Chains A and B, each alone.
Chain A
Amino acid sequence: MGALIEIRQLSKIYVRGKQKIEVLHDINLDISGGDFFALMGPSGSGKTTLLNLVGGLDVPSSGTVSVAGQRIDRLAAGKLARWRAAHVGFVFQFYNLMPMLSAQRNVELPLLLTRLSAVERHKRTAVALELVGLADRVKHKPGELSGGQQQRVAIARAIVSDPTVLVCDEPTGDLDRASAEEVLNLLQRLNREHGKTIVMVTHDPRAAEHATHLLHLDKGSLVESVSSAA
């Protein structure tokens, strides 16, 4: 069976003024459905850029990115937005929740882009919040929740539309150890019990231990790939 995510000869060059910076160089990578990949590497190694390309937030300078057989590097902005809405769930380091909206409304956001009725949206939102253990916090706004709770709301938002891939950029980078462990266990549960494919960038080796595969990037190139027994 082919990989869920296929990356071939991927390069990304940023132009800053007259300077060209090659952030990623000739990356080749296959990620199968149900994998939990951790991307590690020093700052500036290109981890987040690779994550952005996998999540369809950016387009490569050369090479291809295919997800579930679809070349996303060729999609125009509008189609790419629709593709992201349908196939990718994002979790950020600083949660990036809407401060004026309740947890329930935050989680509902991706569903607004679907044709689901209000009742159906409400049901799915409740299920997602239940799954992350925040069924009793639906009416709370982000400012009324702890960092760990906010990140769990962000995870609920990421999974509510049942995406193909979860893309997580330093999901525990802003959390204390206990909250980080809760979030990582949650991600691991989503991977193991619900079969979610996860690609996670992290600096934290302990976070990476929760993944099934570990990738090291350095100066824009893949230097090591390890399969763990996590």
Chain B
Amino acid sequence: MKYLHLVWAGLWRRKARTVFTLLSILTAFLLFGMLNAVRVAFDAGDQLAGAGRLIVSSKLSIIQPLPLSLLTRIEALPGVKKVAYANWFGGYYQERRNFFPNFAVSPNYLDIYSDLFKLSATQRKSFDATRDGAVVGAEIAKRFGWKIGQRIPLIGGIFPRRDGSKEWDFQLVGIFTAADPKLKGVEQDLLFHWKYFNEGNAYMHGMVGWYVVKVLDPQHSDRIAAAIDRLSVNSDHETKTETEQAFQRAFIAQIGNIGLIVGGIMAAVFFTLLLLTGNTMAQSVRERIPEYAVMKTLGFSDKRILALILAESIGLVLIGGVAGMGVASVLIPTVNSALGGTLLLPPVDLGSWAVGLVLMLAVGLVIGILPALRSMRLNIVDALAGR
């Protein structure tokens, strides 16, 4: 501890450089904290037992539709309380960059998700009564300046209309908010009637993307899931029943191998961090060679010099790293809210902190070891003479 002021003074010798280096370390560990949460979310195995809602999708792929005829068979199973269905529409407003989640849904979809969507009774009534009606989240309405009663044209990115045109026209009849303020992300959604979609699209008829099953007793969810999947065994539309979280992850994982992508990004971030901070540390130590020579003159041993420089490099990474992971801890609930429950990122737990701290120590050691060895081995006479 008696050397702490020496390490601290060394760290802040050039304040601007230290601040920028700390910012780059903070950013790297912020990314680590966030991406590690994404990785953990995708690696997580879910228990069916205890889940109040189950999602039934095709066993082959979630983009493979299921027949509507399954609806009554699922509804007839013991323990099933309610069944809704939906289809991904994939439309956008005016330009592709104006993309947002939009779904064709069954009439009872809003009932089954009453814990997610908050819509006034009047607007709900209007939605049920309007064939081409749509309800949107408050966020998306605000983004595009939409008002109730307005007609909204969406371009069907995947599904053209029967007449070949891609333009789908909806009447905005309601604006919903998130029932749970922690899941504000649902306010990005647009919902419209599956019936309107089924009648109008050129490709699919009598098919749905997935079913949402509400069970009477969540403790029996695993048994009910198995019963649902048995309904279509050996058919051309075998199903896979899972929790909502698992389904959402599979939905997102369509873009690629998330684990590999996350791993790749983290590797690139840390490789860049090593180069940047390693170079900064080397430069910082190089500037202080005469000072280390004086310290050795005063009797500081080679090992003590080595330890001081390593303490400085590890300290630098620890300060930036802990700050970065701290920011990640604060941001994750906000991101979860923005995602609206699409993907629930786990908090930065003790395990993540442990991995992060090991990484910080390793990075600190790697960036400090070469300059530390150089200073440890410096010849006092040459260094004092400026050679």
Contact = CB atoms under 8 A, between A and B. Distances in A.
A78 B299 CA distance: 9
A58 interface: yes
Contact of B296 (A81, A98, A101): A81
A110 B299 contact: yes
Contacts of B96: none
A75 interface: no
A84 B10 contact: no
Contacts of B6: 98, 101, 112
A145 interface: no
B290 interface: yes
Contact of A58 (B291, B302, B381): B381
Contact of B297 (A83, A86, A90): A90
A84 to B, nearest CB: 5
A133 B6 CA distance: 25
B298 A77 contact: no
Tell me which of B2, B13, B291, B297 has the highest count of chain A C-beta atoms within 10 A of its own C-beta. Answer: B297
Contacts of A226: none
A101 B299 contact: no
Contacts of A13: none
A157 B12 CA distance: 23
Contact of A109 (B290, B298, B302, B384): B298
B232 to A, nearest CB: 73
A96 B303 CA distance: 21
Interface in B195-246: none
A86 B384 contact: no
Contact of B294 (A83, A96, A100): A96
B300 interface: yes
A85 interface: yes
Contacts of A110: 298-299
Interface string B253-265: 0000000000000
Given A58-B381, A105-B5, A118-B2, A98 B298 contact: no
Interface residues of B, number: 24
B94 interface: no
B266 to A, nearest CB: 35
B291 A98 contact: yes
Nearest to B296: A81
Contacts of B384: 57, 92, 96
Interface residues of A, number: 26
A82 interface: yes
Contacts of B294: 90, 92, 96, 98
Contact of B299 (A52, A85, A118): A85
Contacts of A100: 9-10, 12-13
A157 B9 CA distance: 18
B21 to A, nearest CB: 17
B114 interface: no
A84 B299 contact: yes
A151 B13 CA distance: 22
A57 B89 CA distance: 79
Interface in B300-322: 300-304
B9 A101 contact: yes
Contact of B290 (A55, A58, A96): A96
Contacts of B291: 96, 98-99
A86 B291 CA distance: 20
Interface string B279-302: 000000000001100111111111
Tell which of A58, A83, A86 has the most Cβ of chain B within 10 Å: A58
Contacts of B12: 100
A55 B5 CA distance: 28
A47 B13 CA distance: 34
A153 to B, nearest CB: 13
Chain A CB within 10 Å, residue with most, of B5, B297, B299, B380: B299
B3 interface: yes
A110 B12 CA distance: 22
Contacts of A105: 5, 9
B299 A86 contact: yes
Nearest to A85: B299
* Residue picked from A81, A84, A101, A110, most chain B C-beta under 10 Å: A81
Given A81-B299, A81-B300, A98-B294, 9 more contacts: A52-B381, A81-B296, A84-B298, A100-B13, A105-B5, A110-B298, A110-B299, A113-B300, A118-B2
Interface of B: 2-3, 5-6, 9-10, 12-13, 290-291, 294-304, 380-381, 384
16 contacts: A57-B380, A84-B297, A86-B299, A90-B297, A96-B291, A98-B9, A98-B291, A100-B13, A101-B5, A101-B6, A105-B5, A109-B298, A110-B299, A113-B299, A113-B300, A113-B304
